[in-house]
Amino acid sequence: MSTAFIQRLNRVSEVSKRLPNRAAALAVNFSKERFARKNWADTSRQQWPKRQAGRKSRGSVMVRSGRLKRSIRKLQVTSNYILIGSDVPYAQLHNEGGTIKKTVNIREHQRRITRGRKGGRATVKNHKRKMNLTVPKRQFIGESAVLTRRMERMLEKELKNALQ
């Protein structure tokens, strides 16, 4: 065998070792991109439902503090598969949509009161509140034809570079 052929084989071997991590990074970036585009891209693009009226002043849809978006990361990478996800407790609810029906305990706390020019504080006592909240589906993680195509193009590019 020629040394050029062996060098190509070595480069292809190196590419195959790097590909899972590169694919995982591509998937993480794709999921984070959904927050900027406010849609899910699969075989077609599906815009996220708009926010309810009256809540427009609280930043972009799904980005209040940025915690959910920042939490998306590689969870497991092997030579056979990649797994990305989030450790934020409400990630699955937002990704799949759903309803929350439960009673929550509200602890005593201080609340600021603003009336005219005077301001003050009031104490809110312990109490229970019934929650009945429906969260619309705003998918940002999952299998996607667009993501698959991006991975295929990345693989083709890497292999072409290794075989040159």
Examine the domain organization and report whether 145 and 107 are in the same domain. no
Residue (of 123, 164, 131) closest to 8 by Cα position: 164
Q: Are residues 35 and 102 in the same domain?
A: no
CA–CA distances in Å: residue 58 to residues 53, 61, 64, 74, 88:
11, 8, 6, 29, 20
**119 and 41 in one domain?**
no
Contacts 24+ apart (CB under 8 A), 156-162: 158/15, 158/18, 158/19, 158/22, 159/12, 159/15, 161/15, 162/8, 162/11, 162/12, 162/14, 162/15
The tens digit of pLDDT for each residue in 1-38 reads: 688 888 888 888 888 888 999 999 999 999 999 988 99
Q: Are residues 80 and 131 in the same domain?
A: no
Residues 57 and 122 in one domain: no
- What is the domain count for the chain? 2
Domain hosting residue 103, numbered range: 98-135
Same domain membership, residue 103 and residue 91:
no
Same domain, 82 and 14: yes
Q: What is the mean pLDDT of residues 125-141?
A: 92
Same domain, 114 and 125: yes
**Model pTM score:** 0.77
Position 56 pLDDT exceeds 80: no
Q: Are residues 38 and 85 in the same domain?
A: yes
